Structure 1
Amino acid sequence: MSETRAGEEGGRKIALALALSVVLTLWVALCEPPPREAVGRFLGVVGLSALLLGWGVRGGWGWLNGEPRRCGVFVILGGALALRLAAWMAPVSLSDDVWRYVWDGAIVAAGENPYAETPRERVTRMQGEGAVARAEAGEEAGASSRKALQRLNSPDYHTVYPPGAQAVFASAEVASGWLGGVSERWLRLFFVLADLLAVLLIARALIAMRRAVGWATLYAWHPLVVWEVAGGGHTEALAVGLMVALVLMVGRRRPWTIGAVIGLSALAKLTFLIVSPLVGVALWRRGRFRDAWVAALVAVAVLVAGYAPFWFEALIANQRESVALYAGVFSFDAPLYYAARYLLGYREGLTEPVTHVLSPVLQLATMIVIAAATLWQNGTRGRLVASMVVAWAGYLVFNPVVHPWYALGLMAAAALAGAWSVSLAALGLMLSYLFYVPAVGRPEEIVVMVVQSVWAVAVVGLQVGPKVIAWALRRRAKTKFDAVRPYLRPGDRVLDLGAGEGFVGELVAEADFEVMLAEVDDRNRTALEMITYDGESLPLDDDQFDVAIIAYTLHHARRPDKVLSEAARVARRLVILETVYEREWDRRLVTFLDHSANRLRGMAPESLAFDRVEGWLERLHARGMRVLTWRWLGRGVHRHVIIVADRES
């Protein structure tokens, strides 16, 4: 198939996947009953949409990332708009947070302070003042009437939504008054527009980082994002774009503008302060320590300026009280939290709560993860977005309340990092809507959380696992090379026999030696030449090398004696690293550990030819090799030695 035809086919797949997903989304949005009351149908469409869009993106990846790139950006943005407008048609059902937004917006639009009273206190005061008629008149807009109060999920809590979000809430109230319609529709439309800006910025950031613009679909077309922004309506949509803007601004803008954007993101959603230390240290790592402090000071100034119009004596106390009640009372879809609580002996309705013990521990764990992600910065955008993924993931894992929309910041960072596994894992969060089904009790909720956890670990492990293994293998290769290096002489021609992925040979080559790799199958991950052989006869000339490195290979050989003979033929000197045992239980233990480690590398279990130190020395002597030295490298769980031998004259 020609490149042009393949591209056209990819474009058709994307168009078909988008069209079907939009139709499915619109169907769920307009059908009765609404999504939260028909959870099975809703989750079915979410899953089917994810499959369709995944199929389309995979099939049209080349077309989506072709030139000119603006075409791909246009398609991604257009698909995001169509999906969100379809979900926007649904009535509010997935979450009742939007009714609190409407309530707060009506108060701010009326020129009053939303932080001064709880909704119940406000209704009580107005009724006490004989203002029932006024309250009922504001019922449609979410003013303080009994009917509006009943729609709120926390009428006895002071609002914790920051001033930036309050301004948007009030704008929706004003728009409904000027242009007609209900404020919750306007509010969700504003969230959609803000989220489309975030999609555009994600695409722009990917281009700036020289990454495939198609990764933007991980956020732009993800069913969770579509439904939580357009269908549910959540303030995270206001802050995601600002977070992405920070990635674009690092290294290119003056520090005060970076600080202003950090402050604005916090004024939209306070939890987005999670990324502020990451950005600050990224500036510092770029040699701009002063800029990091300027950005921090400006961010604080913007936050203070945002809250200043709402200041009154009890503001901080009210905010602290609401946050404390939230942290101490609520829990939802948090497997780690529930498991830890159970292990601490808590039994619902039978024992005293353990939140006062558990919450500080989980908060500390979250701060440790964020601190580690912060210190991991090296000043590059790539490291910044990867650390954002880590920081957001730590926040969600250790949080006692995990609603699906809490993952929006994580998913935007994942799109920037190309972390497709995070997007797949986030689909599992949608299962939490099953908790609202009357027939689903605590046992079923536990099953759902186990499924979510296993799914997340499996898909993230699928992407991250090979990278972690490669990192571990390179670290281990460095340890092997450090042991071997003293026995290499300037100008040596080196054969890495049983080279595996080739990482040891790569380090030898970097030390300015001529190196060739040899292995029974090609797992080479380096640029070095590798030859494959049958495990017994090397297709090499006599004395072709000065030294052969045999690192933890002999115990894998079917005929280790034959491998030693061949190594002694093609190289004048042997440097052997080998696992050994001293007692029978040692042999059984290292066999188990070896099989376990090699499974992670994708190698099937095989019979192993472990031997004692004395056994290997005898084998060398039997092949005319003189042992120059040997020593223990470790005598703990892993008993291993290094043996250096050359030919006897």
Structure 2
Amino acid sequence: MRAGGASGRDSRGLWLALFGVLLAALGVVAALGPLAGARGPLFGAWMVGQAAWLIAFARAERAPIGAKTVFAGALLLRLVALASDARLSDDVYRYVWEGRLLADGRSPWAASPDSSTFAAERAHDPELFERINHREVSAAYPPLYLAANAGVASASELLPSAWFESSLARSVFAFRLAATCADLLVVAALLALCRQRGRPSAAALAWAWSPLVALEFAGAAHMDALALALWLGGLAWLGARANALGGWASVGLAGSLKFLPFVSAAFGARASGSLRPLASAATIAAATLAIFASVDEGARGVFGGLAEYSFRWETPNLAHRFVEGLFARFTAFDEGWSDPRRLARGVLLAAWLGWGAWLLARRVEPVSAAGRMVGAFLVLTPTLHPWYAVWILPFLALEPRRSWAVLLALLPLAYWPLAEWQAEGAWREPWWLWPALALPFFALRVREARGERP
């Protein structure tokens, strides 16, 4: 069963109250500071905001608000999140490190931050080095992603140094500001898609008014929002002009930042009967390889960090743990070809590709197919980071699903073990976390699937 669809309009007072709760809850999160020092109160306030968001999502069809109100609300929430310091992630320090290296013509792929290669860089900014996570692992991001980081790192020097306590604080704020701008571009692109596809502007609040989204991008500076903005922008462009070269170029740029948007090229080629989508994506991806020419080491080590990440990283996930556990009954964790981690990833990747092939065979419309491929990825991935999970939200605005909305409303709970991780370096997932996240999701998803049968 899909959310929404009821007739009639809610009162403006109800929506003012809902947004007031969202804004107040996010304000409390911002005022409390780091999660590690106020886990209980911070989660309490955050989950109140998530509940208000879930109610707003469920009632979006009745909302007496337009695109300007949705965007203005999104902007206010991002301004509050920019003032927050929940410290949900330390990835931004790696963005700064790798961005500075690439801007200086050094390769972040060729060696890890703790290698002797970068002794001078460590000495120049020891505070930055100490804050980088997994200092023994080299860069895992594709070249265009790091080129964007290099651009932000360089642009940070334009900010007045007197406003910040250190050059590192200035760089971190620049990344948060860049992520916020990209996040707001997602809102704009999503509003355009809603208009094209006959959805109310209020549906875009699935992304625009999500406290989780605001804290992941304006708060934690994850640069995924740039890839998503280009992806949705490209899809909106293609919605206005079918098979437009610029639209496919935008999708290709998005895929060159984060690989997932490349799926749209396959579905676009199938829908249009043209190779233009695939050719455009491949050309853009190939062109981004020229970035390697800007560093002395070229492409050396480009797959080292990515291989390490894809093999070892695991966070609270929905399905992977059970597939890996099944293989662990029969094979050892020896890092060989039969390592349960490798086997589980291989099987689940095959399942994801099989799902894509099935959607292609059924000629599922490209935007709908993109949402379904994102959803399948989130179910099967070993690393369900919250900033990965929010990729489903724009597609929920276009095709609402209560199952995903409930999961995203509960997903801040995935950060519960973070306080121990930051204090002790040990990630201890409480017994209740997987049931709290997964059981409502799967129960609702099964119910929806039954209701969607022809």
TM-score range, shorter chain: 0.7 to 0.9
**Cα gap change, 1:119 to 1:92, in 2 (>3 Å):** farther
1:200 aligned onto 2:188: yes
Match of 1:279 in 2: 268
Is residue 229 of structure 1 aligned with residue 212 of structure 2?
no
Whether 1:453 aligns to 2:438 is: yes
Q: 2:49 maps to which residue?
A: 49
1:172-571 aligned within 5 A: 172-180=152-160, 181=164, 182-250=170-238, 252-284=241-273, 289=274, 293-311=275-293, 318-346=301-329, 353-378=339-364, 383-438=365-420, 445-468=430-453, 471=454
Q: Once the two structures are superposed, what CA deviation does each residue of 1:15-39 show, in whole Å capped at 9, x if it has no partner? A: 222123212212211324x135433
Asked if 1 retains the 8 angstrom alpha-carbon contact of 2:238 and 2:247, the reply is yes
Counterpart of 2:106, as a letter, is: E
Name the CA shift for 1:217/1:347 in 2 (closer, same or farther; >3 Å).
farther
Match of 1:85 in 2: 79
Q: 2:140 maps to what in 1?
A: 160
- Cα separation, 1, equivalents of 2:97 and 2:203: 37
Quick check: 2:212–2:412 contact (8 Å CA) kept in 1? yes
Instruction: Give the distance between the partners of 2:118 and 2:377, measured in 1 at CA.
Output: 40
Is the 8 Å Cα contact of residues 29 and 35 (structure 1) preserved in structure 2?
no
Distance (Å, rounded) in 2 between the aligned partners of 1:49 and 1:456 = 19
Amino acid at match of 1:21: L
Give 1:19's aligned amino acid.
G
CA distance in structure 1 between the partners assigned to 2:58 and 2:388 by the alignment: 27
Instruction: Provide closer, same or farther for how the CA distance between residues 302 and 345 of structure 1 changes in structure 2, counting only shifts above 3 A.
Output: closer
The answer for the alignment partner of 2:167 in structure 1 is none
Post-superposition offset of 1:462: 4.6
Label 1:314 to 1:92 Cα distance change in 2 as closer, same or farther (>3 A). farther
Q: Relative to 1, partners in 2 of residues 1:249 and 1:280: Cα closer, same or farther, differing over 3 Å?
A: farther
C-alpha RMSD of matched pairs (Å): 2.9
Question: In the TM superposition, what whole-angstrom CA distance separates every residue of 1:312-343 from its partner, at most 9, and x where no partner exists?
Answer: 79755623222221122121112422222222
> Partner residue of 1:125?
117
Distance 1:385 1:42, change over 3 A: farther
1:272-318 per-position Cα deviation (integer Å, ceiling 9, x unaligned): 3233322332322xxxx2xxx12222222212222203247975562
Q: Which residue does 1:509 correspond to in 2?
A: none
Deviation of residue 259 (structure 1)?
A: 2.8
**TM-score under structure 1 normalisation?**
0.61
Decide whether the 8 Å contact of 1:206 with 1:416 is kept in 2. yes
Measured at CA, do residues 105 and 350 of structure 1 come closer, stay the same or move farther in structure 2, by a change above 3 Å?
closer
Contact (CA 8 Å) 1:250, 1:279: kept in 2 or not? Answer: no
- Separation (CA, whole Å) in 1 of partners of 2:140 and 2:311: 15
Q: Is residue 14–residue 59 contact of structure 1 (8 Å, CA) maintained in 2?
A: no
Does residue 1:22 correspond to 2:23, yes or no? yes
The superposition leaves residues 418-450 of structure 1 with CA deviations (integer Å, 9 ceiling, x where unpaired) of: 334322222233221112243999885343112
Q: Secondary structure at the match of 1:400?
A: coil
Partner amino acid for 1:221?
A: W
Q: Which residue of 1 aligns with 2:5?
A: none
| Unmatched tracts of structure 1, length 5 or more | 1-5, 66-71, 140-144, 472-649
Check 1:57–1:11 CA distance in 2 against 1; reply closer, same or farther (3 A cut): farther
Q: Could you tell me how far apart the structure 1 residues matched to 2:104 and 2:47 are?
A: 43
Identical positions, percent: 23
Task: Tell me if structure 1 keeps the 8 A contact 2:260–2:374.
Answer: no
* 2:98 and 2:146 in contact (8 A); partners too: yes
Any unmatched runs of 5+ in structure 2?
Answer: 1-7, 165-169
TM-score, normalization by structure 2: 0.85
**CA distance in structure 2 between the aligned counterparts of 1:400 and 1:350, rounded to whole angstroms:** 16
CA contact (8 A) 1:102 1:173 kept: yes
Contact 1:165–1:238 (Cα < 8 Å) also in 2: no
Change (3 A) 1:171 1:320: closer
Q: Which has the higher contact order (CA 8 A, sep 6+)?
A: 2
* C-alpha distance after superposition, 1:214-273 (max 9, x if no partner): 211111112221221121221210011222123323361454323311221023223332
With over 3 angstroms needed to count, the CA separation of the structure-2 counterparts of 1:160 and 1:283, relative to structure 1, is farther
8 Å Cα contact 1:240-1:412 kept in structure 2: no
SS in 1 for 2:302: helix
Matches of 2:287 and 2:229 in 1, distance apart? Answer: 21
The aligned counterpart of 1:170 is 150
Any idea what the Cα deviations from partners look like across 1:524-558, whole Å, max 9, x if unmatched?
xxxxxxxxxxxxxxxxxxxxxxxxxxxxxxxxxxx
Aligned-pair distance for 1:412? 1.5
Aligned in 2, Cα 1:244/1:414: closer, same or farther, shift over 3 Å? same
Query: Aligned residue for 1:150?
Result: 130
Q: Which of the pair has more CA radius of gyration? A: 1
Aligned-residue offset at 1:407 = 1.5
Change (3 A) 1:428 1:279: farther
